[in-house]
Structures are given as C-alpha cells and as structure tokens.
Amino acid sequence: MDDIDLAEPHLLSWLATVGLDAHYVRAEGDHLYRLDDEGREIPVVDFAGGYGSLMLGHNHPDILACAREMLDHQAPVHAQFSRHPYAKRLAAELNAIVRRETESDEMYSVIFANSGAEAVEVAVKHAELDRVMKVAELRQEIAANIDAARAAVAAGEVSVSGEAAIAAGLDTTDFASLAARISEVNEARATTPPLLFALEGGFHGKLMGSVQLTHNAAYRNPFAALGTSVRFVAPVDISALPKIFDEERVDLLDLAVTGSEITVVCRPLPLFCAFVLEPVQGEGGIRALDARSAEQIQAACARVDCPVVVDEVQSGMGRTGTFLASSAVGLRGDYYALSKSLGGGLAKTAVMLARSSRYRPEFELVHSSTFAKDIFSTTIALKVLELLEADGGVAYARAAERGAYILDMLRSVQRDFPDVVADVRGRGLMLGLEFHDQSASAIPAVRRHAEGGTFGYAVAGTLLERHRVRTFPTASAPNTLRFEPSIHIGDAEVAQLEAGLRDVCAGLRAQDAAALVDH
C-alpha cells in the first residue's frame, strides 16, 4: 500500500519528465533543501518564492515565533461567530496602509477568506449582491413612481402623453395599459444576466467562479458551462471601453409626471457586476498595466458604475515596492483581493477589501467560511504587516532595490543573448524573462518542448539540476520564467541565477544537444 501514490501522481510524473520532481525536506529564507544519496542537505535557491507567497522568505524567525507563541498559549484558533479582536486589528491596519498609499480617506470593510481564488470570488460575489440590491431598489423606486402617477391620473390631474404611449409601444393612452406594459418590460429586462469583465492574459484562480475570469483557455474552457461568462478585454481595446459598455446598456422604464402629462423615462439597469484585473499580471507573463490604461479603465467603469476589483493576490503585500502594485499606477479599487504573502509563508489566508460606499453589511450574514478569520492566520497576517511597516517601510524599499538589482542582471543577460532572450520585465520582486520561441531549434528535445508548451519547464528543470536554482514559468505564458524571491535575497544567489541563465542561453545559442537536461 505504501507504494501506491494517490496524491496527484499524474502531476508528479509530469514534473519528472522535466526534472522538477524534487523532494524538499527543509526550508529557510531563500533556500529549500533536498537530500543527496548520503542524506546530506543540498541547498536550492528559491526564485519561485512559493508562487509569490514568500515576500519574507521561508520560515521567517519572527513569524515562527509568533506562531509558536500562539500555539504555546492554546490560542482559540477556531472560535467562529465570536468576538475577533485580532481580525479587527488586522482590518484597521490594512485600512491605515491602504489609505496612506492611495491618499484616500475612504474606509474599506474587510471580509476574510482562505485563498487567492476565494478572495476574488468573495469580491465578485459581494459586487453581485450590491448590484442585485441596486436593481431591487431601482424597481421599488419605479413602482413608487407608477403609484404616484396612477394617483395623479385618478385625481384627474394628469393624463398619459402620446409620446409616452409610443415609447411604451402602445396605441392607447390608457394609464392601466401603460402601467401593465412597463411592468412587463421591466420584469423581463431586470433579470438580464450580470456583466463581468476581465483583461486578456489575466489569472484570478481556478475555482468554479474564478476560473471564468482566468483568461487561459486550457484552465477555463472545460468549465465554461459552470459559470457566468466573462468578457475579456484586449489591451488594444481598453480605450474603446466606453463604447463597449454603451453597447451593453439596458434600460428599465419609469414614469414621471411632468406638468399635466405622464412621460416615460429610461433608467439604466445596474448591469455591470465587476471589472476584474491585476495591476501586474503574474501568471499572464509578468505584464504591468500602464498608468494610462489604468486611468481609462477607471474612468470607463466609473461612468457606468461598474466596480473595479483589483486582484493584488500576487502583486500586493509590497512585492513591487509599494504595498499595492495598483497604487503606483494611480488605480483605485472598489475592491482589493490580497492573499499569498499575507500568510507570511506559514498560514493560508486571504482578505477582500470593499470600499465603504459600496459595502453591504448584509453580506456578512450570507457569506462565511469555517476556516476564514481564524486567530492563527489573522495574527500571523498582523505580524507580516508589522514586519513590512517596520522602520518606515524599509521592506518596500528593499523589494524595489532587490528587484532593480535582479532586473539589471536580467537585462545584462538579454543584452548578451538577444537571439535567445526576447524580453525581461517586471517591477520590484515580480520579474520575468521571456525566451524567444524555440520551435525552430536544431535540437530535437528543445523543439519538442517548444511545440508542446513545456519549454519553460524544461529550462526550469535544467536550472534546478545543474545550478540548484528553483524557478518556474508563469502559468499562462510558459516561455516566461518568473523570479519572485524574498526581500532578503542576496547578491550571491542572484549571481547563481545569472550563471544558470547564461549557461542555458549559451547552450541554446550554440544549438548544443546538451543545452537542456533531457529526462
């Protein structure tokens, strides 16, 4: 029985085909350790950084101490539906940081979750509750206006105008017919499905709802029938958003009494549920949104009252040099999703921040999770914020400095191998190196990987085996390697990565059959 692997063995055997099926036994800072045949530890420098969850590195001593203290004091980890002073402090601290950085006075209400995908779904779910409640409020207003018009007709004060009858598609100015028609039209239109928008290349998770927002067709297509379809916006279409939104507009019909006449008035149906985007696309290949696009999205969304959900699951928590990557391009979220490094590399946690002016307290009664808001993860998250904010925020400055240092190194590799490296990009400790397409390579193994979409993984396997460097391609752009180490990454580790990249690039340029390790 011991030999049977029922824990995703298919994935493991796939990892083995590219030499990434390592077994790590210990982790500290920016290193993972595996054992050699004699049982000695072999350090591997970790540029994958837990897919963005290790801003502070593996097993940071202060985070460990915080966890130990809680466990030693028998902290009530699962005490749902009770007072949560630690969660209250975390929400206040998050607000202080976000308000400072966005230079805004607005408060954000916080809902707790367990993973990145969950936080995104919580934001969209809240946005939908808000939208549905707005539809109900609008319909109530219209019902009250119809009642008022009916009373005015009954009192003989007003009559239905000819234009009103035409607007409602009637050939009579009878009030009862008009009211019935308006109710019928509104009934049908009010149930128009919500509209969700996301950017091409975006990644927002793989759950039933969030996968609909994830652009990668391989992840999304098999499950398309399980969720609301999302309209993906290409970067070139961002400037056309007002037109795209206008085409989607649906109006409810309302009645107004103007002088002695009843007229029909169009009222826009709240139809826009959310526009979801990452300020720096992680899995999409480390692609940063520029300030102009951010402004265009913000303005177009504001015009139609479409809330902007800023997914900072990977880019947030200081990774790009500011707490929120979006604040650097002037993007203001109606919602923010944060996760990954919020858990300090130890806890699984996530939060959704909702702008107070949109917040619906009713949400708290209809949404919850057994594990969310527990004392263990929220206390660790508070410790993470304390470490990030310490000494005037040197952690943010360090993310920017270390990032610039690594980017310089990547640029030098690109300069020396422009025929192999197509681009290097990113901000702070969210960096990517894109290889040119290798499907015309003279090396059969390289060609096979390039054609099968596994080239980046084969490079990662080679870097691991020959240089003890761990990195991965981004999920939806597999020719781009990601580098997301902790803020404590040292010059020696960066040099180790550089040696590995130069070695791989030289092998690919020379069309050397041994350029990549063949498994």
Q: Would you tell me which residues interact with ligand PMP (CB under 6 A)? A: 51, 115-117, 120, 203-205, 278, 282-283, 311, 313-314, 339
Task: For helices 375-416 and 491-509, give the axis angle rounded to 10 degrees.
Answer: 50
Please tell me the number of Cα atoms within 13 Å of 458 on its side-chain side: 24
Q: CA dist 112 to 123, 240, 273, Å?
A: 11, 35, 21
Decide: 479 and 434 in contact? Cβ < 8 Å.
yes
CB of 435 to ligand PMP, least distance (A): 21
Q: CA dist 265 to 153, 189, 251, 322, Å?
A: 17, 15, 9, 46
Residue 423 host element (H or E): strand 421-427
Centroid of chain to Cα 350: 11
Give 213 or 413: the residue with its C-beta nearer to ligand PMP: 213
Q: Which two tokens stand for residue 60?
A: 């940071």
Give 311 or 493: the residue with its C-beta nearer to ligand PMP: 311
CB of 233 to ligand PMP, least distance (A): 16
CB of 411 to ligand PMP, least distance (A): 24
Burial letters 194-213, b for 16+ CB under 10 A, else e:
bbbbbbebbbbbbbebbbbb
- Please identify the residue of the shown chain whose CB is closest to the bound ligand PMP: 116
Give 145 or 474: the residue with its C-beta nearer to ligand PMP: 474
Give 285 or 507: the residue with its C-beta nearer to ligand PMP: 285
CB of 274 to ligand PMP, least distance (A): 14
Give 52 or 507: the residue with its C-beta nearer to ligand PMP: 52
Give 52 or 57: the residue with its C-beta nearer to ligand PMP: 52
CB of 308 to ligand PMP, least distance (A): 15
Give 59 or 216: the residue with its C-beta nearer to ligand PMP: 216
Q: Which two tokens stand for residue 237?
A: 């279409």
49: left (phi over 0), alpha (psi -120 to 50) or beta: left
CB of 43 to ligand PMP, least distance (A): 25
Decide: 226 and 248 in contact? Cβ < 8 Å.
no
CB of 429 to ligand PMP, least distance (A): 14
